[in-house]
Structure 1
Amino acid sequence: MKAHYLVMLAAMMAAAGCSTNNKSDKLETEQTQAAGTFGYDLAFLKKHKETIVLTAPDNADARALINPAFQGRVMTSTANGNAGNSYGWINYKLIESGVYQPHMNGFGGEERFWLSPEGGQFSVYFKKGQTFDFENWQTPALIDTVAYKVAESDASSVKFQVDAMIENYHGKTFVIGISREVQMLTKQNIADLLDLPALSGVKAVAYRSTNSITNKDEEWKPESGMLGIWLLGMFRPSDQTTIIAPFSKALSEKPLITDDYFGKIPADRLVVKDSLLFLKADGKHRSKIGIAPKSARNVAGSYDAEKGMLTIIKFDLDPQGQYMKSTWELHKDPYNGDALNAYNDGKLADGTQMGPFYELESNSSVRALKEGESITHRQSTFHFEGEKAALNVIAQKVLGVNIDQIGEVFK
């Protein structure tokens, strides 16, 4: 009996040791993954901030990293586990420094929650009476340095809530509640949302964020300003990455596209033809486009021909809705802004550069909320890697473009 007990004890200790070794091996693997992988970014973020790992319910390799300290933003994701490509751009130097910057803390992340408008008489980035220049521009702490409280969470989703007050350029104070939920999507969810056949020949990861602002004070009025939801994703650029933004001619014969936010974009970096806009996303020339709701479609994306990676965002769109205008000036039509924006990073006039990265951005429409009413904006982000033919099926169906066509645009 004693011998039997000793054998059992030895087995239990061996199992415990094996378990411990497995955990140790897993941690060591995370810490020694190469730069550019999900495991590398997981180890880095865990070292500096509380980091939540979400996993798709039906795919252990499809993961995303969420940081409460950074307003519940999705920092990065992968379709292929710890050794897989990490899709989000992360500002390692800033996060490691632990020092807040003036104007904005560009921590990075492939989907962050912001508020609109940025400029104009209803801006929440400039104080009343200030001139619209960089010295006066300040990202509100609410969407820059304030940590968001986790309200609910499980293995594949997390929900954040925060109550706040924020004042606009007009002098209007908003008392609001913010709710943000990030949920990992299954393969079937992906196929259903993008109207695709069953996924084959590709690795995929996707998540959906549901974002709401609730008015907790007196009714909003157009003459004193309203707030919109603005979602921005920062991704890793390459010389062979191209942004694709399809647009519609159904409500406007002429596409309502703004392409001169930072001066006219050179023809070798921006191509508009048929119902597609192509913008280089190499992180080497500062440029931004915007598409108005009457011309925008509810999808946009990018393709990295070097790594064979296709990224798509799909978002709520109201073609007849009011959208806040964010250019740095007083507006005659402050509710005639963009539904979709895309940005390619580049050097500033002084030679400095935050990135390089590129951005895909969507905006919510706005309306005059009564006390207790809310606006909600949803966006889903998808990443695909795999066989070119399989990626082409997705690109054709969702974006209306052939993969080979993307590669030929800027040649």
Structure 2
Amino acid sequence: MAFAKGTFGYDLDFLKQYHHDLIVLDDDDSGAAVIILPAYQGRVMTSTTDGMNGQSFGWVNQELIASRKTVEHMNAFGGEERVWLGPEGGQFSVYFKKGADFTFDNWFVPAAFDTEAFDVISVSQSQARFKKAMRLENYSGNTFDLEIDRTISLWDNKGIENLLGMVIPQGIKAVGFETVNGLTNTGTNAWDKKYGMLSIWILCMMNASDKTNVAIPYKQGDASILGKIVTDDYFGKVPAERLQAANGLILFKADANHRSKIGISPLRAMPLAVSYDATNQVLTVTQFSLQEGITDYVNSLWQIQEEPFAGDAVNAYNDGPINGSQMGRFYEIESSSPAAALQPGETMIHRNAVIHFTGDKESLNNISMKLLGVAVDAITL
């Protein structure tokens, strides 16, 4: 049976051609399912609320995967949830070699979390666990021996309800999964502000429509204490019609028509981001670890930094055309752990959960009101 493009079954059949060891977690009762690829670092490639014919939510770079090739700087295979490590730029970056200029020609995603497989530790119908030992060197020339321990769990509806503290309305279909990502210092050097620190960086690439918008709540308060609400100039300042921040809610257009990125500092961040695809009536919730009172987050700006631990806790990215070409029709929600000040043998844990709801607009409104205090029509620019 041939499945329609854009369905879970279509993406599953495609990925099976290139990855015979792929893992599917599924819930027989609800039709919820996710696809995980060990070869892509235990990456959740996509998910659905409704079985093989249900909509596929993760962006999959079929062209790159089908080429069976790897490229030099970064292999953008796609995937609804993957683990990277920060910082990306600065004197403690693990993406630039010591002394290199901070330009794209010198930027390389380390192979350990770009092209190398993670080891499969265990698999059941609802959970898969992976590990990967790595050695990385930062821009300052310091070496990091580490291990990532990553567990992916598919929830049933009761698990989703417990996480969000709400009852899923009748007629709504849902898929929810959580990743628990452990970062362990397996070396002999302490990680600190002088030596350099890493962070767990989770990136979620999801299919965009022309009517997709992101809503991120933020802590309101005095800018002299909490700083600016949002960083909006990663790739040039985001146009006003694409970004608004007022009354505790940031709205960001995620239609894959304009390349842009925003960031929220740990002083302003809350452990929640929501997006709404009005074209397909999909409400997506991302919830993640956020430790109250901890404000040291790695700074990923591509420059030597005066404040290398004044980075973002939450980011959103919208893809778009650049120089006549485009990576894909997707947007990203990103969450980060604090800078990992780990002694040898110590571990930091960062959790990230993604939940998709599909169904009638009135029921999706009820969920949005519960989580954000506004209806889905208010998540619109």
TM-score relative to the length of structure 1: 0.89
Question: How far apart, CA to CA, are the structure 2 residues paired with 1:157 and 1:126?
Answer: 35
8 Å CA contact 2:272–2:288 kept in 1: the answer is yes
What stretches of structure 1 move > 3 A for 4+ residues in a row?
250-256
Which range moves more in the overlay, 352-361 or 191-200?
Answer: 191-200
Question: What are the within-5 Å matches in structure 2 for residues 374-393 of structure 1?
Answer: 374-393=347-366
8 Å CA contact 2:229–2:245 kept in 1: the answer is no
Deviation at 1:399, TM superposition (A): 2.5
Question: How far apart, CA to CA, are the structure 1 residues paired with 2:317 and 2:351?
Answer: 20
Question: What are the within-5 Å matches in structure 2 for residues 147-162 of structure 1?
Answer: 147-162=117-132
- Pairs aligned (count): 376
Return the letter of the residue paired with 1:258. Answer: T
8 Å CA contact 2:254–2:318 kept in 1: the answer is yes
Residue among 170, 180, 192 paired with 1:210: 180
Asked if 1:237 corresponds to 2:208, the answer is: yes
- SS of 2:103's partner is coil
Return the letter of the residue paired with 2:356. Answer: H
Question: How far apart, CA to CA, are the structure 2 residues paired with 1:230 and 1:258?
Answer: 18
Question: How far apart, CA to CA, are the structure 1 residues paired with 2:317 and 2:168?
Answer: 32
Deviation at 1:198, TM superposition (A): 4.5
Return the letter of the residue paired with 1:133. Answer: T
Partner of 1:365: 338
Structure 2: state its 5+ residue gaps: none
Partner of 2:288: 315
Asked if 1:96 corresponds to 2:66, the answer is: yes
Return the letter of the residue paired with 2:334. Answer: E
Partner of 1:329: 303
Deviation at 1:200, TM superposition (A): 2.2
Structure 1: state its 5+ residue gaps: 1-28
Question: How far apart, CA to CA, are the structure 2 residues paired with 1:101 and 1:73?
Answer: 18
Asked if 1:405 corresponds to 2:375, the answer is: no
8 Å CA contact 1:247–1:255 kept in 2: the answer is no
Question: How far apart, CA to CA, are the structure 2 residues paired with 1:98 and 1:134?
Answer: 23
8 Å CA contact 1:300–1:399 kept in 2: the answer is no
Partner of 2:318: 344
8 Å CA contact 1:246–1:400 kept in 2: the answer is no
Residues 254/136 of structure 1: CA separation in 2 closer, same or farther (3 Å cut): closer
Deviation at 1:199, TM superposition (A): 3.9
Residue among 260, 280, 292 paired with 2:233: 260
8 Å CA contact 2:216–2:272 kept in 1: the answer is yes
Percent identical:
47
Question: How far apart, CA to CA, are the structure 2 residues paired with 1:399 and 1:55?
Answer: 29
Question: How far apart, CA to CA, are the structure 1 residues paired with 2:72 and 2:379?
Answer: 38
Answer 1 or 2: which has greater helix percent: 1
Partner of 1:7: none
Residue among 262, 266, 273 paired with 1:293: 266
RMSD of aligned alpha carbons: 1.3
Return the letter of the residue paired with 2:270. Answer: R
Partner of 1:174: 144
- SS of 1:160's partner is strand
Residues 279/363 of structure 1: CA separation in 2 closer, same or farther (3 Å cut): same
Partner of 2:250: 277
Return the letter of the residue paired with 1:248. Answer: K
- SS of 2:364's partner is helix
Partner of 1:196: 166
Report which structure shows greater RCO (CA 8 Å, sep ≥6).
2
TM-score relative to the length of structure 2: 0.96
Deviations 1:129-171 (CA, angstroms, capped at 9, x unpaired): 0011111010000110000110011011100011110111111
Partner of 1:248: 219
Partner of 2:45: 75
Question: How far apart, CA to CA, are the structure 1 residues paired with 2:59 and 2:29?
Answer: 23
Question: What are the within-5 Å matches in structure 2 for residues 129-148 of structure 1?
Answer: 129-148=99-118
Question: What are the within-5 Å matches in structure 2 for residues 26-41 of structure 1?
Answer: 29=1, 32-41=2-11
Asked if 1:226 corresponds to 2:184, the answer is: no
Deviation at 1:356, TM superposition (A): 2.1
Question: How far apart, CA to CA, are the structure 2 residues paired with 1:367 and 1:42?
Answer: 36
Deviation at 1:194, TM superposition (A): 0.7
Return the letter of the residue paired with 1:343. Answer: Y
Return the letter of the residue paired with 1:294. Answer: L
- SS of 1:189's partner is helix
